[in-house]
Amino acid sequence: MSLNILIVDDSPVMRSFVRRVMQLSGLDVNQYLEAANGAEALDVAASQPIDAVFTDINMPIMDGEEFVRRLRQQPAFNHTPVIVISTDATANRIENMIALGASGYIQKPFGPEQLRNETERVLNLNNGGACV
């Protein structure tokens, strides 16, 4: 399965890093889409097919919490895998993001193996346990 990936982060260098690690991980990606905040990400999601979303939390204009909340309010994105990438791995933060609808969580620092493992885990959940 070739994936359309949406990367949401206000840092251009972090978006580049996620793309790079995604390539190193060996995941089959068809298209990388990018947004600098949650509001931009909602616009992109409305106009392009998306298979999985990777989002930061702390962003200007619309942060990751509000983005995940609004994305999940849309029936078309009820089951779209959303993986949070954050430096904050406190239990409070992770529980809050999962409660809002995040499918997975990757703590920085991370490399290709962690990215691949978490992506495959949430895609398998989404496919009812079938192999990606």
Partner 1 sequence: MFDASRENDLVRALLASCCEQVLETMFFSSPLDPTEPPLSTGQARVHSRLAFRGRPAGAFEVDADPQVSRHLAASFLGLAEADVSPQQVIDVLGEFANMACGSALSSLARVEYFHLDPPQTAAVDCFTPSIEGVRRAFVLEGGTLGVCLRVEFDPE
Binding site for partner 1 (CB under 8 A): 11-14, 16-17, 20, 58, 86-90, 92-93, 107-111
Q: Smallest gap, in angstroms, from Cβ of residue 72 to partner 1?
A: 23
Query: Nearer to partner 1 by C-beta: 48 or 58?
Result: 58
Query: Nearer to partner 1 by C-beta: 12 or 74?
Result: 12
Residues 60, 39 contacting (CB under 8 angstroms):
no
Query: Nearer to partner 1 by C-beta: 32 or 110?
Result: 110
Query: Nearer to partner 1 by C-beta: 60 or 79?
Result: 60
Q: Smallest gap, in angstroms, from Cβ of residue 131 to partner 1?
A: 27
Distance of CA 6 to the CA centre of its chain: 7
Determine the Cα–Cα distance for residues 57 and 85; give it in Å rounded to an integer.
7
Nearest to 48 by CA among 69, 61, 59, 32: 32
Q: Smallest gap, in angstroms, from Cβ of residue 41 to partner 1?
A: 19
Q: Residue 20: how many CA atoms within 13 Å on its side-chain side?
A: 8
Q: Is 64 helix (H, G, I), strand (E, B) or coil?
A: helix
